[in-house]
Amino acid sequence: MTENQAMTLQGKSILLIIGGGVAAYKALDLSRRLMERGARVRGVLTDGGQQFITPLSVASLTGEPCYTDLFSLKDEAEMGHIRLSREADLVLIAPATADLMAKMANGLASDLASTILLATDKPVMVAPAMNAQMWAHPATRRNIATLKGDGVTFIEPGDGILACGEVGPGRLAEVMDMVTAVEAHFGKSPARPLKGRRVIVTAGPTHEPIDPVRYIANRSSGRQGFAVAGALAKLGAEVTLVSGPTHLATPDGVSRVDVETAWQMQAAVRKALPADIAVCVAAVADWRVEGEGAQKIKKTKAGIPALNLVENPDILAGLSSMKEGRPALIVGFAAETEQVIDFARAKRDRKGCDWIVANDVSAAGGAMGGADNQIHLITREGEENWPRLPKEQVADRLAHRIASHFGV
């Protein structure tokens, strides 16, 4: 954290309303991050929120009383919900449940949080979190439209595995995304330590044709690479994302080039040079079929056709061995199913890259195609073992680690 980052919210007062849901735990980290940037944070914890975190934890982190009860004689005597709602520069709700948004949209005031929201004359920002079907329900969509019409700002939820085990939109936004939204509300620009740096990121699988119908591929979703590209762009980098076939949306501020094969990916990477940084996340197929069939290969009485495989270009090794114009930092990814760290160390030496991000992609690891990742960062200086995190948090952490490498 730089001094400029710490001052982006200096003198701002934020009233943080914490709704019910597993994601309430993120509000604790959110409080800390806002305070690191100079904000004063007061917490309001709903009855649902108290099922997941405690008023004591909120008060301990913020250094302020945590308010919970509309009819608390002590709190109303000392502060009062009206005064509490008016003294903030921003009212932030994270997580915001479907129930709490429904109360807001319909002007209900049945507890402390909803009463504050009805009484406030300050800007309100909402970070929803709920089941994907609840998020998509027509009633929720109507309430969102009403609230937006009333001037409420939304921090859109993420897409991924939810607490209920289902997959889809409704996941509370990542903490740093919420911090960035608050900074943007106050017209403050978050620190952009990689401004002026050119970055190439590869992501996703490659599809290597067998014939016009079939191809060789793997289970990579591209999610980790897309998250890395987005995280680097948020830090100010000029990012070119070279992506194999995926169904993911392009991250904000990122220039995207779509390819299918390893040869096409190599050509796109070379075209994107020069660059200061290259992060090779893509799961590039090691082999392709020699002599792709011009027509669909048919079953015949001759039996199963033989497919002769030849090696694909090694994009990571090619970048690392460049004599002129080599990126100053080249980061590779090692997707392993066994002896993860040992094989990753060997890969870094063999490829000649600067860092290797090793991750377990076995069925037990669940990284390939999944929402979370546990990685080991291997550099010349040693190894860093990171905890299991959502891929977006892995990307944020890696992007900041890259910025630190350049001394910013």
Q: List active site positions.
A: 164
Burial of 218: CB neighbours in 10 Å, binned 0-12, 13-18, 19+: middle
**Alpha helix positions (H), 315-375:** 315-320, 340-351
153 CB-side CA count, 13 A = 14
Specify the residue for token string 């301990």: 60
C-alpha closest to that of 275 among 331, 350, 228: 331
How far is CA 324 from each of CA 237, 320, 328, 405, rounded to the nearest angstrom? 22, 10, 11, 21
Tell whether residue 169 is among the known ligand binding residues.
no
CA pair distance 358, 127, nearest whole angstrom:
33
The angle subtended at Cα 330 by Cα 287 and Cα 244, nearest 5°, is: 40
362 close to 338: Cβ distance less than 8 angstroms: yes
Q: Is 296 annotated for ligand binding?
A: yes
Looking up tokens 């300050």, which residue turns up?
122
Q: Is 347 annotated as a binding residue?
A: yes
User: Reading across the β-sheet that carries 153-154, which strands appear in turn?
Assistant: 66-67, 40-45, 13-18, 90-96, 124-128, 153-154
Determine the Cα–Cα distance for residues 75 and 66; give it in Å rounded to an integer.
10
Give alpha helix (H) positions in 88-185: 98-106, 112-119, 132-136, 138-149, 175-185
Q: How many CB atoms lie within 10 A of CB 391?
A: 22
298 is in an annotated binding site: no
Tally of CA atoms within 13 A in the half-sphere of 1 that contains its CB: 13
29: annotated binding-site residue? no
Is 314 labeled as ligand-binding?
yes
Length of the chain: 408
The verdict on whether residue 316 carries a ligand-binding annotation is yes
3-state SS assignment for residue 191 = coil
Report the distance separating Cα 237 and Cα 403, nearest Å.
10
The position carrying tokens 């402390």 is 112
Give the C-alpha separation, 367 to 374, whole Å.
8
**Residues in the annotated binding site for CTP:** 286, 296, 313-316, 333, 347, 351
**Residues in the annotated binding site:** 286, 296, 313-316, 333, 347, 351
